[in-house]
Amino acid sequence: MSAAAGPQLELVGITKVYRGGHRALDGLTLSVGTGLLGLLGANGAGKSTIMRIAATVTRPTTGQVRFDGADAVAHPDALRRSLGYLPQDFGVYPNLTAREFLSYLAAAKGLPARASRIQIEELLQLVNLDGVPKRRLGGYSGGMLRRVGIAQALLGNPRLVIVDEPTAGLDPE
């Protein structure tokens, strides 16, 4: 896939062995282009491990992670700028509002302040959290926190979004 067609994330020959010898992945090869990545499989099958390695949160024991042909383990910045990542469990600052939390993350990502403010308002509407602007995250339900997670994964209009257990805790609506 050429760069003009969008980013390409490649995991090549990925093996992950945890302490104690537990082998979570063994020789996995996967190629992903622009879009949304979600994996289905049994509990303990290695889905979260794949996603953490793809997002450069965890290093593989062996194998290569490449983004647009470059080594993403050694030089993760290009991938991280193009990536939205929603882990299965993510932490929040309970004393911040969703707007404050998203503003903090936008600044940490180096996004321009004015554009971020506009996008944050759009994302809060998209995930149906614009009606609770002053409520602190510590008072949110699990489903509301999951929606904040979805919004943070979409900050900066990433070209690739990786989600782990995207519907966990969400209401059917």
Q: One digit per residue, pLDDT tens: the chain, 173 residues?
A: 344 456 689 999 999 999 999 999 999 999 998 877 778 788 888 999 999 999 999 999 999 999 999 999 999 988 988 899 998 888 899 999 999 999 999 998 889 999 999 999 999 999 999 999 889 999 999 889 999 999 999 999 998 898 887 666 566 55
Binning the chain into helix, strand and coil, the percentages to the nearest 5 are 35, 25, 40
Q: What pLDDT does residue 163 have?
A: 86
Residue 72 has a CB neighbour count (10 Å cut-off) of 24
**pTM metric for this prediction:** 0.82
